[in-house]
Structure 1
Amino acid sequence: MSDNNFFVHTTSILDDRVSVGEGTKIWHFCHVSEGVTIGKNCSLGQNVFIGKNVKIGNGVKIQNNVSVYEGVEIGDDVFIGPSVVFTNIINPRAFIDRKTEFVKTMIEEGASIGANTTIICGNKIGKHALIGAGSVITKTVNNFELWFGNPAIKKGTVDKEGNILTI
C-alpha cells in the first residue's frame, strides 16, 4: 500500500490505531501492532515485528528480522542492526501470564545497536551510544559509551558520529 505520506509493502500488516510518520517505509512481511507510533522518515526492514504501544522516534532504521516488544521505546535517529533481540520480561515462564509485568527499555537518540545484539529489559541505551555486534546488554549504557561482548562491558567512548575516542 502506498500513501502520499508513507509506504507499506503489500505483504505487511498494520493493526488498528497505528500512527506512521511521513516518509516512513515499512518493507516486506512486517507486522505493526495496535497503538504503535512510528515517526517520520523511518525504515523497517523485512520481517520486523513491532509490539503493542511501542513508540519509535523520527529517522529510526530497524534492519531485517528484529522484534521490538511492548515496553520498548526508541528515540530519534536510532540504528538497530539485523536480528537484534529485545526482551520485556525478567523471568519468563510459558505457564505464567506476565503481560502486566513488562519492564521498560529505552533506546535514546542517536544510539546504534549492532547485529545480533540482545538487550535485556529494564536497561537504557544512552544518547549516541554504540553497541558492538553480538553483544548481550545486561546493564544500562550511558551516553556516548562503546560497549561490546557477552556480557557486554564498557570498552570506551565514541563521538556523535560513532568515531571511537577512547578504548
Structure 2
Amino acid sequence: MYIHPLADVKSKNIGKNTKIWQFCIVFENAVIGENCNICAHVLIENDVVIGDNVTVKSGVQLWDGICIEDNVFIGPNVTFTNDLYPRSKKYPEKFLQTVVKKGASIGANATILPGIIIGENAMIAAGSIVTKDVPSDTLYKTNITVETRSLI
C-alpha cells in the first residue's frame, strides 16, 4: 500500500497494493480493496465500500451510501449524489444506496443520481446524466444537441 504524504487517510481498511495520491481525504470507516488507484483530489466518506482493482480518477467525491464493486473505472470529475432533495443542515435518516457493479466504467464528468444501480460491465459515456438504473452490458449515454446561431 502506498499513501502519498499529502493525503489525509484515516481508514485502516485499505487493501494491499492500493495507491492513494496527494490531496485525497479518506474517512475512518471507508473500505478500499486491493490493487486500487485513487488519484489526486478524491474524497471518500465513511459509508463507502470500494472493491478490488478499482481506478478512481481525480476530482471524484464518493459520498455515504456508495458501493463500488471490483474492476470498476471511474473517470475524472464524475459526480455522485446521495440525496435527491438536499437542504443545508437537513439530512435524510438514511442516504440512498448507489451501486456500481463489477467491470462497469463511468466516463469523465458523468453525473450519477442517488439510488442508482449500474449493471456489470455497463459503460456510462462521458458527460452523461444517469437518472435510472443501467442494465448490465449496455452503453448509457445522454445526447445533448447544441445549436449554433448567429448573435447578430
TM-score (norm 1): 0.83
Report what 1:97 is aligned to: 90
Aligned partner of 1:22 in structure 2 is: 16
The answer for the alignment partner of 1:142 in structure 2 is: 135
Instruction: Tell me if 1:123 matches 2:116.
Output: yes
Letter in 2 for 1:70: D
For structure 2, the residue ranges without an aligned partner over 5 or more in a row are 145-152
What do you get for the CA RMSD once the two structures are aligned?
A: 1.2
Q: Aligned ranges for residues 1-167 of structure 1 at < 5 Å?
A: 6-15=1-10, 17-94=11-88, 96-149=89-142
Q: Is the strand fraction higher in 1 or 2? A: 1
- Larger RCO: 1 or 2 (CA < 8 Å, sep 6+): 2
Task: Show CA shifts across 1:62-116 (max 9, x none).
Answer: 000000000000000000000000000111111x421523100000000000000
Poorly superposed stretches of 4+, deviation over 4 Å: none
- Local SS of the residue matching 1:20: coil
**Structure 1 stretches of 5 or more lacking a match?**
1-5, 152-167
For residues 90 and 45 of structure 2, what CA distance do their matches in structure 1 show?
Answer: 16
Which TM-score applies when normalising by structure 2? 0.91
Cα distance in 2 for residues equivalent to 1:131 and 1:137: 8
1:120 and 1:137 in contact (8 A); partners too = yes
The alignment-based identity, stated in percent, is 41
